[in-house]
């Protein structure tokens, strides 16, 4: 009995690219089935992440045309990471392996075969890693490089140049379901789940059509999410920073005393002012970072659902 593979694809306002990329996914899946690498029960599962365009209509249409296409529709836009978890959770009980991939054709579909072969070699997680980033701008490449370094320094384990193109077995997903947090940065979470893993390499292409949903602001917020949801090192920085400032203040107090006893107290008004301003700045930044964590604690305590599925293209089997 061959493994059942679910290809999990989040889609948000992708009416332009979906009609082009969906047949490519099916072609690749059929190839894997014909080579007897995966079962014919394998599926391509689209997650409509609250799109405002015709994305869901296209998904419904596809699922009517070929039984290998399936789709679920989230009740509103919840963001790429949540949409992905929705798909993986949905697929978890029905399959043996999942491969998550974007629907825009940027990630090389051909390496799915290598991923499945690595799974057959005993790897439970296979990370898709970009070989070159020629299609990304110099700015995106440089910032990504700095960002991955920063994450490592902060103690978060991430696979360099890996986004969300990866094979994950149902067994790993089962374990992952115990990670109850709401703030998600999946590429940092899967290494935490453990299990045997490896990487396969590919060249990243341009989008087949349509536009990226990650402008600079959204990229920065994902980057920030990554750091604050995986690491508490920024909190330790505050402590370190606090010690340095305290030492500095001590030296300044000694200096003020000497100045006072030498009868020069009028002088120094400017420096005092500068110190006050500097310290208020530091305090504000520190409070901001602490506030960020408190905000997260607040959200976690609410135990809000990550997503709500409003529609499915298929009936749920009662006997299961």
**Residues in touch with ligand UDP (CB under 6 A):** 10-12, 14, 49, 77, 79-80, 83, 102-104, 106, 212-214
Distances (CA, A) of 126 to 18, 132, 134: 25, 18, 23
Q: Which is nearer to Mg ion, 104 or 118 (CB)?
A: 104
Residue number with CB closer to ligand UDP (60 or 118) = 60
Contact yes or no for 127/101 (Cβ under 8 A): no
CA distance 148 to 81: 18
Residue closer to Mg ion (CB basis): 43 or 130: 130
Q: How far is the CB of 22 from Mg ion (least distance, A)?
A: 15
- Backbone torsion region of residue 271, taken as left when φ is above 0, otherwise alpha when ψ lies between -120 and 50, otherwise beta: alpha
Smallest distance from ligand UDP to CB 281, Å:
34
12 binds, among ligand UDP, Mg ion, none (CB under 5 to 8 A by kind): ligand UDP
Length of the chain: 320
Of residues 228, 242, 159, 154, the one with CA closest to residue 198 = 159
Residue 197 near which of ligand UDP, Mg ion, none (CB within 5-8 Å, type-dependent): none
- The span from the CA of 59 to the CA of 125, in Å, is 28
**Minimum CB–partner distance for residue 104 and Mg ion (Å):** 4
Nearer residue to Mg ion within complex by CB, 5 or 103: 103
Interaction residues for Mg ion, span 56-115 (CB under 5 A):
102, 104, 106
Between residues 140 and 196, which has the closer beta carbon with respect to ligand UDP? 140
Residue 179 partner contact from Mg ion, ligand UDP, none using kind-dependent CB cut-offs of 5 to 8 Å: none
Q: How far is the CB of 163 from Mg ion (least distance, A)?
A: 8
Integer CA distances (angstroms), 62 to 41, 44, 122, 208, 317, in order = 17, 10, 33, 19, 21
Residues forming beta bridges with residue 47, ordered by sequence position: 10, 72
Which CB atom, from 218 or from 311, has the smaller least distance to Mg ion? 218
Sign of CA dihedral 111, 113, 117, 118: positive
Q: Which does 103 bind (CB under 5 to 8 A by kind): ligand UDP, Mg ion, none?
A: ligand UDP
Helix axes 216-230, 138-153, angle to 10 degrees: 10
Name the minimum Å distance from CB 106 to ligand UDP.
5
Residues that bind Mg ion in the complex, under the rule CB under 5 A: 102, 104, 106
């Amino acid at each position: 009995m061959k493994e059942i593979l679910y290809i999990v694809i989040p889609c948000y306002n992708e009416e332009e690219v979906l009609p082009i990329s969906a047949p490519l996914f099916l072609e690749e899946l059929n190839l894997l089935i014909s080579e007897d690498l995966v079962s014919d029960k394998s599926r391509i599962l689209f997650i409509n992440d609250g799109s405002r365009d015709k994305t869901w209509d296209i998904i419904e249409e596809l699922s009517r045309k070929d039984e290998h296409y399936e789709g679920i529709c989230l009740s509103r836009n919840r963001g790429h990471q949540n949409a992905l978890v929705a798909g993986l959770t949905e697929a978890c009980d029905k399959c043996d392996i999942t491969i998550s991939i974007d629907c825009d054709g940027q990630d090389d579909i051909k390496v799915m075969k290598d991923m499945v072969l690595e799974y057959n070699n005993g790897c439970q997680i296979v990370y898709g890693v970009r070989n070159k980033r020629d299609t990304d701008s110099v700015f995106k490449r440089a910032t990504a490089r700095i960002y991955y370094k920063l994450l490592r320094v902060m103690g978060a384990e991430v696979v360099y140049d890996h986004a969300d193109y990866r094979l994950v077995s149902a067994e790993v997903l089962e374990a992952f379901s115990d990670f109850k947090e709401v703030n998600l940065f999946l590429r940092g979470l899967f290494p935490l789940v453990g299990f045997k893993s490896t990487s396969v390499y590919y060249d990243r292409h341009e989008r087949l059509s349509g536009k990226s949903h990650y402008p600079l602001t959204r990229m920065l917020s994902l980057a920030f999410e990554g750091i604050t949801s995986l690491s508490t090192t920024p909190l330790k920085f505050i402590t370190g920073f606090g010690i340095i400032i305290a030492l500095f203040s001590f030296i300044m107090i000694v200096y003020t005393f000497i100045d006072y006893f030498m009868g020069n107290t009028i002088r120094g008004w400017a420096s005092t002012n500068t110190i006050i301003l500097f310290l208020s700045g530091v305090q504000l930044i520190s409070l901001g970072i602490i506030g960020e964590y408190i905000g997260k604690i607040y959200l976690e305590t609410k135990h809000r659902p990550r997503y709500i599925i409003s529609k499915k293209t298929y009936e749920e089997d009662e006997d299961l």
